Amino acid sequence: MGKREMGRQDKSLDSISDSPVRELFFWAQALVFALVLLVCVNAFFGRISGVKGDSMYSTLHNGDQVLVQLMGYHTPSRGDIVVVMTSYYPTDPLIKRVIGVGGDVINIDADGTVSVNGEKQYEPYIYETVHNLGNIQYPYTVPDDCIFVMGDNRNHSSDSRFSQIGPIPLDEVIGRAFFRIWPLTRVGNLS
Decide: helix, strand or coil at residue 64.
coil
Cis before residue 93, ω within 30 degrees of 0?
no
Which helix (DSSP H) or strand (DSSP E) does residue 134 occupy? Answer: none
Using alpha carbons only, what angle is made at residue 155 by residues 70 and 152, rounded to the nearest 5 degrees? 35
The active-site residue out of 3, 12, 17, 96 is 96
CA 22 to chain CA mean position, Å: 40
Give the 3-state secondary structure of residue 98.
Answer: strand
Helix or strand run (H / E) with residue 100: strand 94-101
Contact 168, 149 (CB under 8 A): yes
Catalytic (active site) residue 96: yes
Active site residue 157: no
Q: Which of 49, 52, 55, 87 is catalytic?
A: 55
Active-site annotation, residues: 55, 96
